[in-house]
Amino acid sequence: MLAMSTSNHQFGTRVVHAGWEPDEQTGAVMPPIYMTSTYVQDAPGKPRNGFEYSRTQNVTRFALQDALADLEGGAAGFTFTSGMAAIHTLLLTLKPGDRVVAGNDLYGGTFRLFSTIATRFGLLFDYIDASDTSAWQNLPSDTRLVYVETPSNPLLKLTPLQVAIDAAHRVGAEIAVDNTFATPYLQRPLQLGADYVIHSTTKYISGHSDVVGGALIIRDEARKEDMWFHQNSAGTVNSPFDAFLTLRGLRTLEVRMERHCHNAMAVAQFLEAHPKVAKTIYPGLASHPQHELATRQMHAFGGMVCFELPGGEQPARAFVSALKVFALAESLGGVESLVELPAPMTHASIPAATRRAIGIEDGLVRLSIGIEAADDLIADLQQALATL
């Protein structure tokens, strides 16, 4: 089923309709879940309408892929079993000896993939402070791929995207941007010239903490066949049911992100003013060192807030244990509010000395702000802080 063109519509309309039109035969307004593993062929080697095997072609997955490509402004989209599978599939397009320059403030799982697995196959990795404009002035001439998160996980640092994109292209490299925290509602790196956008669709794209998935969207049509070949060959595709759940969640992305951003700003302002909080990190605060860049580069400031408690990990553990509305859990981007400590949880795979060197202190708390009433979230934080 071909999707209707939504290019002339605003984001709120596109996010509801992209990737699918009502089925011609039945009028179904949502794509069916095509759970078949294989398809009847009209003759040997002549698949009907190009459909052979669901690892290779699946209508439900195609609907999600097309919707994400539309929203990011890309030539094609590909969806995967997880965000890590999306990143891994991108790395499979490289060859031994290729150099990857990455931000030094990455999700722990991404750092683990780069440092302990991809290096086994001959890829070279350099890490830079991607938030520092001067760091982009002298990329190695043999750089093949640049990989950044913006905002980063967990320190919410911003990469100056236009500077990074121009720097990568000057040395003949491609650049991939993990857009998980921002989503296409807040920023669209492909429109600035990035070559790839990565998502953990587990997070804001699906938005309900009930499905794991990933996505990669490409800017250049010429890369489509190569990326499809690697996705299909590695078998990293997501299931039809997971694609269905993710697409269902995607339809409410705009309204959810508006509430996430509104609540996060209220929480950040509360924390910044609280005497027991040593430091609050949120791009929407004037105190954020890249606040001006955030106002230029992003439509709004996102739903993630971090803060530091003095005294290290022990008071941080006591704080998270005292919360009642916030659930202590990894992941983020769901409708419910979550809290975690990056050092012993999501970023435990990064050596402690490396964590501290890049600013991930033991007392750092990461909040994923949900869509509950902001006053209730603040009251929960206040009572937990009062126990310290």
> 274 and 201: one domain?
no
pLDDT for the residue 7:
66
Q: Which of 222, 250, 278 is the last residue of a domain?
A: 250
Q: What is the pTM of this model?
A: 0.94
The amino acid present at 132, given as its one-letter code, is: D
Q: Is residue 163 located within the same domain as residue 290?
A: no
**pLDDT attached to residue 348:** 87
On whether both 272 and 238 belong to a single domain, the answer is no
Residue 333 and residue 280 share a domain: yes
Residue 6 inside a domain? The answer is no
Q: Please report the pLDDT score of residue 1 as a whole number.
A: 40
Q: Are residues 163 and 285 in the same domain?
A: no
Same domain flag for 230 and 186: yes
Percentage of the chain lying above the pLDDT 90 cut? 90
Residue 366 and residue 342 in contact, taking contact as beta carbons nearer than 8 Å: yes
Distance CA(253)–CA(373), nearest Å, equals 18
Residue 1 counted as domain residue = no
Mean pLDDT of the chain: 95
Q: Is 317 a catalytic residue?
A: no
Question: Is 256 part of the annotated catalytic residue set?
Answer: no
Per the structure, the count of domains in the chain is 2
Long-range CB pairs of 358-361, under 8 A, 24+ apart, other chains included: 358/104, 358/105, 358/155, 359/105, 359/155, 360/105, 360/154, 360/155, 361/308, 361/312
Query: Which of 15-24, 241-250, 288-297 comes out lowest in average pLDDT?
Result: 15-24
Contact 300, 186 (CB under 8 A): yes
Could you tell me the residue range of the domain that residue 109 belongs to? 11-250
Strand (E) or helix (H) holding 188: none
Among 107, 127, 185, 204, which one carries the catalytic annotation?
Answer: 107
Check 61, 99, 157, 203 and give the catalytic one: 203
Same domain, 49 and 171: yes
Give a yes or no: residue 20 inside a domain: yes
From the list 23, 55, 112, 251, the catalytic residue is 55
Same domain, 78 and 128: yes
Verify that 174 and 279 share a domain, yes or no. no
**What digits encode the pLDDT tens for the residues 72-131?**
999 999 999 999 999 999 999 999 999 999 999 999 899 999 999 999 999 999 999 999
Instruction: Please compute the mean of the pLDDT values over residues 142-150 and round it to a whole number.
Output: 98
From 66, 70, 98, 178, the catalytic residue: 178
Q: Do 62 and 110 sit in the same domain of this protein?
A: yes
Pairwise CA distance, residues 371 & 300, whole Å: 16
Question: The domain spanning residue 56 has which CATH number?
Answer: 3.40.640.10
Does 366 lie in the same domain as 299? yes
Q: Are 387 and 322 in contact (CB under 8 A)?
A: yes
Indicate if 46 belongs to the active site.
no
Q: What is the CATH number of the domain that holds 333?
A: 3.90.1150.10
Mean pLDDT throughout 359-379? 96
Residue where a domain stops, chosen among 194, 215, 250: 250
| pLDDT score at 375 | 98
- In the residue annotation, 107 being an active-site residue is answered as yes
